[in-house]
Structure 1
Amino acid sequence: MAGALSDRSGRRNPWILGGGLAAVPAMFLLGLADTILLITIAWCLGQAVMNVYQAAVTSVVPDRVPMDARGRASAAVGLGLPFGSTLGALIGAAYSEDYRTGYLVLGALVAGAAVLFTACGREQRLPARAPMPVREQLAAFTSALRDHDFRWAFIGRALLVLGYFAVSGYQLYVLQDHTVLPDGMKPEAAVAVLMPLTSVAMVVSTVLGGYLSDRFDRRKLFVGTSALLSAVALVIPALSASWPAMLSFAVVNGLAFGCYMAVDTALVTMVLPKAEDAARDMGVLNIANAGPQIIAPFVASVVVSFSGGYTALFVVAAVLAVAGALAVKPIRSVR
């Protein structure tokens, strides 16, 4: 909805700034919540306002970056994932005993980023568009998915993200119940080792993937190869429960996911059905990010419960990654 309204207004910065600033009261409320109901309301509010920010900011690349630089631009955007997840984990650990302040710090970071971006980034205003009847607005949300290339890009992203988060969301439990850790190492300490490894690998592959995809003008090749590499990474802990196997998985999976997200984001900006609907359609794509993350824990719990272990979870996630790789093959308008 925020993407569609941003398109109609022809503006990005007000939505980025508004969503970013609204994160502060949302996180303040989350810190005060002391019942399940209030936590649920505050968490949903926080997700909503930050996705207003997200929908508008993701449209900046197709709005302002030429086609031959989309890979590098998407790589720069993709660097937010490893840096942000690492910084978020550090803030979470630092404020584990004072979580109200921790929530405010996170909200302030989002608000500060929004202020900095809108102050420094020159906005290219697009022509405002006339309002449409409600029925046409609702139909417009599905119009992007009726486009052949965008639909396959959406499916591929959803499958890969589902497989990735089905495993990463259960990482602590995998280390507790599946991996044979070195003597004296606790699962929490193991997570602290794996996260930087994955983040560094992700940074390297994000930068290289974005640069090389521009250099060779090939997007599908890098997206498909990185998705297949993710499947290879997931097979490693399925074959061995050793600590070295888990270390290898962390590095290879980081390399795969970093390159995938950087180049796939560039690919998606090239298959948008209409440039004037960029924010709305990138918002639709965000469902392929957020939706699988919502259902991934349920999928993982079912697989682990029925199989009695985590080996099957790795195998299922690897199959999803292969399916995600195959989903880019039908895309016609991008090499």
Structure 2
Amino acid sequence: MAADPADRRQTTRFLLLYALAVAGGAIAYVPFLTILLPIQVTGMAGDSDVTWLAYATFAGALAASAANIFFGWLSDRSAVRRPWIIGGLLWSCVLLVGFAYITDIVWLIAWLVLWQMGLNMMLSALGAWAGDTIPDRQKGLLGGLLAFAPAAGALSASLVTLPDLADAQGRLWLVAMLVAACVLPAVLAGAPRPFPELMRDEPAPKKEPSRSPANMVVRMWLARLLIQISEAALFAFLYFWFRSVDPAMTDANVARIFSVILVASVPLALLTGHLADRYGRPFLPLTIGAAISAVGLVLMAMSNSLTSAIAGYVVFGIAASTFLSLHTGQTLRILPRAKNRARDLGIFNLTNTSPSLVMPWLAIGLVPAFGFSGLFVALAACAGLAAMLVASLSRPT
């Protein structure tokens, strides 16, 4: 007997290859933006490196935001994804290794803008490809698998910076080869099963206004933005806060804690994503994750020792990382029009880039007057609001 179409699932092989490709996308930018680019800027700008790095980061974020939407729109219009993924892969890898030949700081920023355009050509089509090929009944599992990406990015940064492994140019080549090795298997040999129902122009209308497509999109967008603001603030100021609690805390210890959180979130995201699929509760883990993130931030605000500070951050970090991974998978469920899928994902991508514009002013306004505890209370309020936004979506589907 033929399988019921409602029970058809994407192959495990494609899911794993797709997760590997998304991990390749993270490897494409995490080592470069967090380590290799700052090193190069310092070598060029000397004592002005912080200022020039800020200019470069700002220009790169603007380019990434615009390119993700633009190339997403183009891939929607063309109704194909793989050519855009391959084109963006080639573009970004060629420009990545080209950074080794840039010797002027202004040209470096211009080159960074061009690289971000190519990278986001690949990332926009890659993200939308999941919406084209993975049915809703596997969106939770997809979100769990996507938790591998940030962990892969962090681990690749540790790998390429191993002493005596490669010089500055060799590191760039190593990153480019790792990215290609991760992305190409899915694109060239993934062979996903087709799901024509995923390509319908609009979903069935919702009877409940609170769960209408437009309302769901707004709630999901705002919830992700609020959690990302909390993540961005901690990413920028975590080291300074740990040092304020215990001056003996080193940057290496902070990096190790961050890596442990990313690795620990992978099995948790896989388990919760699987359970969300099994019981038809796709948004419940998001509500719980955002709520636990708020609890972790409150614990951080109340901490008075290094042990309690680390415990609070671990609670927040694992919950927030799990939330963000599962959120990515479930976002594909609620986008209203398949023909605009990649463009709409580009708009969701603004939640990844815009927090860097909000977070500094939040910290400047709160930390001098109320200390880090005041900042964490404000961030806990953001996470709590995120939980409330997705709570009404958490009823069974």
User: Shorter-chain TM-score category?
Assistant: 0.7 to 0.9
Task: Supply the distance in 1 between the matched residues of 2:165 and 2:382 (Cα, whole angstroms).
Answer: 34
Structure 1 residues 276-326: Cα deviation after superposition (integer angstroms, max 9, x where no partner): 22222122211122222x325523542455436322222222111112112
Matching of residue 267 in structure 1 with residue 330 in structure 2: yes
Pairing 1:227–2:227 present: no
Residue matched to 1:328: 390
**Aligned match of 1:156:** 223
Which residue is equivalent to 2:102?
A: 33
2:170 is aligned to 101
Q: CA deviation at 1:32?
A: 3.3
**In the alignment, does 2:84 pair up with 1:15?**
yes
CA separation of 1:317 and 1:29: change in aligned 2, threshold 3 A: farther
Q: Which moved more, 1:300-309 or 1:4-13?
A: 300-309
CA distance in 1, matches of 2:395, 2:342: 20
Residue 95 to residue 215, structure 1, CA distance change in 2 (3 Å): farther
Matched, 1:174 2:241: yes
Does the CA-based 8 Å contact 1:202-1:256 persist in structure 2?
yes
CA contact (8 A) 2:226 2:383 kept: yes
Q: Could you tell me which runs of 5 or more consecutive residues in structure 2 were left unpaired when the two chains were aligned.
A: 1-69, 197-212
CA distance in 2, matches of 1:208, 1:288: 25
Which digits, 9 at most, give the CA deviation of each residue in 1:46-66, with x for residues without a partner?
A: 222211111111112221112
Does the 8 Å contact 2:81/2:125 carry over to 1?
yes
> Which residue, out of 270, 279, 287, partners 2:342?
279
The equivalent of 1:298 in structure 2 is 360
Q: Secondary structure at the match of 2:125?
A: helix
1:253 partnered with 2:320: no
Q: CA separation in 2, counterparts of 1:86 and 1:151?
A: 34
Shift of 1:91: 2.5
Partners of 1:18 and 1:80 in 2: CA distance: 21
* Structure 2 partner of 1:65: 134
Paired positions, count: 313
Contact 1:194–1:250 (Cα < 8 Å) also in 2: no
Tell me the TM-score normalized by structure 1.
Answer: 0.83
The code of the aligned residue for 2:308 comes to A
Corresponding letter in the other structure for 2:112: W
| Distance change >3 Å, CA 90–CA 100, structure 1 → 2 | same
Tell me, what secondary structure is at the counterpart of 2:371?
Answer: coil
Aligned with residue 213 of structure 1, among 255, 276, 285: 276
Q: Residue 342 of structure 2: SS of its match in structure 1?
A: helix
**TM-score normalised to structure 2 length:** 0.71
Match of 1:315 among 374, 377, 393: 377
Could you tell me which runs of 5 or more consecutive residues in structure 1 were left unpaired when the two chains were aligned: 128-145
Paired position in structure 2 for 1:117: 186
> Could you tell me how far apart the structure 1 residues matched to 2:359 and 2:118 are?
23
| 2:23 alignment counterpart | none
Alpha-carbon distance between aligned partners in 2 of 1:331 and 1:92, rounded to the nearest angstrom: 43
Which shows bigger deviation, 94-103 or 223-232?
94-103
> Is the alpha carbon distance of 1:94 and 1:279 closer, same or farther for their aligned partners in structure 2, counting shifts above 3 Å?
farther
Q: What letter corresponds to residue 179 of structure 1 in structure 2? A: V
| AA in 2 matched with 1:245 | S
Alpha-carbon deviations, 1:118-146, whole Å to 9, x = none? Answer: 1122267999xxxxxxxxxxxxxxxxxx9
The farther-off stretch of 18-27 and 109-118 is 109-118
Structure 1 counterpart SS, 2:354: helix
Distance change >3 Å, CA 299–CA 224, structure 1 → 2: farther
Tell me how far apart the structure 2 counterparts of residues 303 and 208 of structure 1 sit (CA, whole Å): 39
CA root-mean-square deviation: 2.8
Extract structure 1 runs of 4+ deviating beyond 3 A. Answer: 31-36, 92-100, 123-127, 303-306, 329-335
Percent identity over paired residues:
25
Instruction: Work out the CA distance in 2 between the residues paired with 1:214 and 1:241.
Output: 40
Q: Kindly tell me: are residues 264 and 117 of structure 1, through their superposed partners in 2, closer, same or farther at Cα, counting changes over 3 Å? A: same
Evaluate the alpha carbon distance shift between residue 281 and residue 10 of structure 1 in structure 2; reply closer, same or farther with a 3 A threshold.
same
Aligned to 1:239: 302
SS of the counterpart of 2:336? coil
Equivalents in 2 of 1:252, 1:19: separation in Å? 36
